[in-house]
Amino acid sequence: MRLVLLGAPGAGKGTQAKLLGEQFHVPHVSSGDLLRDAVRKQTPLGQQAKDYMDRGQLVPDDVLVGAIEERLRGRECSQGFILDGFPRTIAQAEALERMLGKIGCPIDAVISFVVPASALVDRLGGRRTCVSCGALYHTAYNPPAVAGKCDRCDGELFQRDDDKEETIRARLQVYERQTAPLLDWYRDVGTLIEVEGLGERQSVFGEIVNKLGAVA
């Protein structure tokens, strides 16, 4: 199973990608995680990406495409993948199509999550991340047992720069301007599946699986 997940920041792509990866036994490939890992390790890629990420802007294609291609060509992705956060523009979608065409692995379906902007700001603004293990929490919906501490490893929780309200709104503007046109592109290709992303995670997951079964 090879899937692309589309949706504005905070739409639930990461949560559903993990569930879908477990369901279909394929890896969750997050472009954001790839880039944040590079930033933490202070690699040349990470240094290039950091300034863009801190401002809520898209990382340039020449930085991102190479990282994605290297990951998808790995042995772990040979039987499929759940691609989260890439592509974000039509140019990236065309690059992905060329990339997968070389290895004979076309996309099976593109899942688009529909969530109101007000809910996205609320979701992201309350998100907290463990500095040690990367576990995610939310001040309202998924708080830790002890405020500011990770339940798993007791690490400190922090708010990522790209989860602050000013940056969130910038990210949403970027999405609407550059990523939303992908919906029409994939609709024309015939691989787009739209789902309501505002419900409970299991109900959203169930809708995705049902719709995938209908087009399989």
> Which residues are known catalytic residues?
13, 88, 127, 160, 171
Which DSSP letter does residue 11 get? S
Q: How many Cβ atoms sit within 10 Å of the Cβ of residue 187?
A: 14
Q: What gap in Å lies between CA 183 and CA 93, rounded to an integer?
A: 11
Is residue 13 within 8 Å of residue 202, measured between CB atoms?
no
Q: How many Cβ atoms sit within 10 Å of the Cβ of residue 22?
A: 12
Gyration radius of the chain over CA positions: 17
Instruction: Please state the separation of Cα 112 from the chain's center in Å.
Output: 11
Which DSSP letter does residue 5 get? E
